[in-house]
Amino acid sequence: MSLDRLVELVETLRTAKLRTALTALSVAWGIFMLVILLGSGAGIQNGAEHQFRDDATNSLWIWPGATSLPFEGHKIGRNVRLTDEDYDAVKRHVDGVVHITGRFYLQGQFTVSYHGAVSSFDVRACHPDHQFLENTLITSGRFINQLDLAENRKVAVIGPVAVERLFKGKDPIGEWINVRGMMVRVVGVFEDEGGEEEQSKIYIPISTAQMAYGGASQIHQLMFTIDEKTDVEHSVAVAGQTKRLLAARHHFSPEDKRALRVRNTVEDFQRIVMLFQRIRVFIWIVGIGTIVAGIVGVGNIMLISVRERTKEIGIRKALGATPWAIVSQIVLEALIVTGVSGYLGLFAGIATLELVRKHVPPSDFFRDPSVNLGVVVGATVLLVLSGLLAGYFPARMAARVNPIVALRAE
């Protein structure tokens, strides 16, 4: 297309301000809304997925409780006490267990000191596999191992918060720290995505804690990952098997919901995934609706504008314009208006998402709103094309009319 034709087009567009503005607004608004919609959907989803980031999403968490159903002559209200033997039994007999750990609860904050530096921390006593359940990443040294466990070693793995508060940047590996009167040696440093709270934990071997704090072989919580990541049915079966095994060992009814509490993260996560699939479908329906509304809007404006311009078309034809010259003018006008405004809508939408990303603190409900550029560019192209078609057909009809018929139009 020659520059000359472009100038002619732009002049016509400039003179038909209202029509141009309406078409532009309809396209820009449609694309803008689509971007905001898809971005918000992604933001909500990212927020929810973020909540799961530091935990394995294919794990079962088990807490013993008190019986609530009479069983084999036992009365209700009996406390269930899990031990290392239960840990071994589950590990050996339940199918599909991959990584398994117990937790021995150490109540309250522990005062921890190193060469005069004092602070308090949560101490977690667990098995070596614990790092796979909390997605704990070792950044130097190692995590608790089997030997630590067997020999009840006084070792600890500390987080970045402890490194900063106690060691102030010094390498902590091999150093002894005082954990509420017990001297333990730091063997590793970890990082955890679970935020400040997880970052300030101190891990020690479960056997060491059981011995030091009079726990004999008691376990307060049992956690393990299973081999299938997304198979909810399988996870429920594994949970059932575990429950039956522990029920038989401790003489309570497998139906007793209070005797043993089970949290199934496969189920939880799949529920969230399903919820988001539904939200996504909903967003797509609304998005497609927005685009269809945009297409109808652009189509209408083009139709009206061609009809409004019948007389102009008649004059141009009387002066020797070919139908092609007329059709291409109208179509190119549509292309320029919808293209430019579509781009502006796209730009405004993405800029808005960027502003939100910068100025709204990320939370579990909303974080990192982003859009698939391919999708929105595709939608823009679709709108532009529909503008072209909506301009093309009436323009072709109008351009075929006898000039004298067109000239008679008012």
Partner 1 sequence: MIHLERVNKSYHLGHHALHVLRNVDLTIEEGELVSIMGSSGSGKSTLLNILGILDDYDSGTYRLGDALIRDLSESRAAQYRNRFIGFVFQSFNLLPFKTAAENVALPLFYQGVPRARRNALALEYLARVGLEAWAMHLPAEMSGGQKQRVAIARALITKPRVLLADEPTGALDSKTSEQIMNLLIDVNASGVTVVIVTHEPKVAARTHRTIRLRDGVIEADEDRA
Residues that bind partner 1 in the complex, under the rule CB under 8 A: 4, 7-8, 11-12, 15-16, 311-312, 314-325, 399-400, 402-404, 407
Give the side-chain half-sphere CA count within 13 A for 9: 19
Q: What is d(CA 63, CA 391) in angstroms, rounded to the nearest whole number?
A: 68
Nearest residue (CB) to partner 1, 65 versus 403: 403
Residues facing 61 on adjacent strands: 223, 263
Q: Which is nearer to partner 1, 371 or 399 (CB)?
A: 399
Sequence-distant (≥ 6) Cβ neighbours of residue 202 within 8 angstroms: 110, 112, 121, 122, 123, 124, 156, 157, 158, 159, 162, 179
Q: Least distance from C-beta 359 to partner 1, angstroms?
A: 44
Q: Closest CB to partner 1 among 355 and 404?
A: 404
At closest approach, how far in Å is the CB of 353 from partner 1?
39
Biggest CA–CA distance in the chain, Å, is: 107
Taking the complex as a whole, the smallest distance from the CB of residue 27 to partner 1 amounts, in Å, to 23
Give 197-245 as a DSSP string: HHHTEEEEEHHHHHHHTT-TTEESEEEEEES-SS-HHHHHHHHHHHHHH
* Nearer of residues 81 and 311 to partner 1, judged by Cβ: 311
Q: Which is nearer to partner 1, 173 or 407 (CB)?
A: 407
Query: Which helix H or strand E contains 99, and what residues bound it?
Result: strand 97-105
Choice between 2 and 107, CB closer to partner 1: 2
CB 183 within 8 A of CB 154: yes
CB count in 10 Å sphere of residue 397: 12
Q: CB of residue 18 vs partner 1: minimum separation in angstroms?
A: 12
Q: Minimum Å distance from CB 317 to partner 1?
A: 7
Helix axes 265-308, 310-318, angle to 10 degrees: 50
Rounded to a whole number of angstroms, the minimum distance from the CB of residue 400 to partner 1 is 7
